[in-house]
Amino acid sequence: MRDLREVQLEAFRDELQKHGSKWYANVAKGLGNFAKRQVHAVSGWTPHGFHDVHGIEAIGAGAANARERLAKAVVGTDAHTLAQKAVEANERAQSMGLTSIPGFAKSLVSSDPNKGVANTLRAGFEQQWHGTTTGEKALMLGLPLAATGAAAVMPDDPEHPHKGRDIGAGIVSTAAGMVTGGIPLATGMVVGEGASRVGGAVGGAVDKIRKRRRENMTGHIQAPPAPEEARGQHVPTERVVSPAAAGQMPEGIT
């Protein structure tokens, strides 16, 4: 008859193997979906066809996460209300194609009365505001806003020559983050970085204009040469010589 300890050890090994294979399977699936989301973000592709709503959610993009939060939330609670708004905002965004860069661009220039510039930006903002998690908002909005604020409080002097560049980068990056929340996070951060560079270039041009204006107002002031630089040069000096040293008798002495 087998020892009870052996039976327990064998059951433990079976359980460990089962959970281990499940863990590996979940990791592999997660990595695969992550890669698919980035492909979708730059092309609109999904396993079910381009810009297919079911395909978008099948790879964990669009309303997929919000729908999971809604399923776990207790009806009647604030969490349930917020999750419901998140699902609605994400569903609208993914139906307009705002989960990919090509879809977003296409929606901006669309003649569809439900799309166009205003509706696209509004849907993108609502998706970012209602449809993303706190952590996603912190990455896409919090960081660029903090950088913009830090640049704005810098003194306006020659010691901070890139103030305009930093402010421009922060503003444009924040604006991009406000309306592109539907794009998968990793690609969305790349989009934000590109927007930041564009804003930085505009702000850098403003820096150059302000620098020229400052120079025109103050002129170029040349500092006097340092003592080391003045060696070997004729530097006018004034010497004070006492009457005695000059061979003159002091007053009152005859």
Q: How far apart are CA 199 and CA 68, in angstroms?
A: 36
Take residue 174 and report the two structure tokens written for it.
């924040």
Output Rg (C-alpha) for the chain, integer angstroms: 34
Q: Tens of pLDDT along 171-218? A: 988 888 888 888 988 888 888 888 888 998 998 898 888 888 877 876
To the nearest 10°, the Cα dihedral for 124, 125, 130, 133? Answer: 80
pLDDT at 211: 83
SS3 assignment, position 241: coil
Say if residue 158's pLDDT is above 60: yes
pLDDT at 185: 81
Say if residue 1's pLDDT is above 60: no
Instruction: Count CB atoms within 10 A of the CB of residue 34.
Output: 15
Query: Closest Cα partner for 62 from 46, 75, 74?
Result: 46
| 245 burial level (CB within 10 Å; 0-12, 13-18, 19+) | exposed
Please answer whether residues 130 and 89 qualify as being in contact, where contact means their C-beta atoms are separated by less than 8 angstroms: yes
pLDDT, average across residues 135-152: 84
Mean pLDDT, the chain, integer: 82
pLDDT band at residue 138, thresholds of 50, 70 and 90? confident
Share of the chain above pLDDT 70, in %: 74
To the nearest 10°, the Cα dihedral for 85, 87, 92, 97? Answer: 140
Say if residue 145's pLDDT is above 80: yes
pLDDT at 133: 83
Please answer whether residues 174 and 148 qualify as being in contact, where contact means their C-beta atoms are separated by less than 8 angstroms: yes
pLDDT at 103: 95
Say if residue 101's pLDDT is above 90: yes
